[in-house]
Amino acid sequence: MIEVPLATGARTTAGEAIEALVRDYPGIRDRVLDEQGELRRHVNIFIDGNNARFMGGLKAEAGADSEMWIHPALSGGARS
């Protein structure tokens, strides 16, 4: 796990936070988002413990003191 403090202002969105991360970790955008800018199917973002997918996706808002987690989803099945 890598913990990265981001200075993004009082309020930011999940998408803006990812773009802020890209400055120091340029490979992260294409791992987390597909080429159309959508969150990959098996990646989840949590903001203060809430799944961003149900809070507007990449437009989900975070506050200045929020914690945002990027998780590979726990998924699998017959084809795994």
Partner 1 sequence: MATTHAKTLSPAAGDLMLMVGTVKGAFIFLCDGKRGDFKMSGPHFPGQSVWSAAFIGKGAPRIVVGNKSNHWGAMVSWSDDFGATWNEPTEGNVKFPKGSGESLSAIWALEAETPLGPDVVLAGVDPAAMFRSDDRGETFRLNEGLFKHPDRPKWNPGFGGLCLHSILVHPCEPGRMYAAISSGGIYRSDDGGESWNACVNGLRVHPDVPGATLCPHKIRFDGENPSRMYLQSHPGVYRTDNEARSWVTIENGLPSDFGFPMVTHPRHGGTIYTFPLTSDEFRVPRDGAPRVWRSRDAGGSWEPLGKGLPDRDGFFTVLRDAFSADALDPAGLYFGTRGGQLYGSNDEGESWRAITEFLPPVLCVKTAVVH
Contact residues: partner 1, CB under 8 A: 26-27, 29-32, 34-38, 40, 42-43, 72-73, 75, 79-80
Q: Which is nearer to partner 1, 44 or 61 (CB)?
A: 44
CA distance 46 to 48: 6
Q: Which is nearer to partner 1, 38 or 67 (CB)?
A: 38
Instruction: Compute how many other C-beta atoms are within 10 angstroms of the C-beta atom of residue 64.
Output: 11
Q: Which is nearer to partner 1, 49 or 75 (CB)?
A: 75
CB of 39 to partner 1, least distance (A): 11
- Residue 4: exposed, middle, or buried by beta-carbon count in 10 A (0-12, 13-18, 19+)? exposed
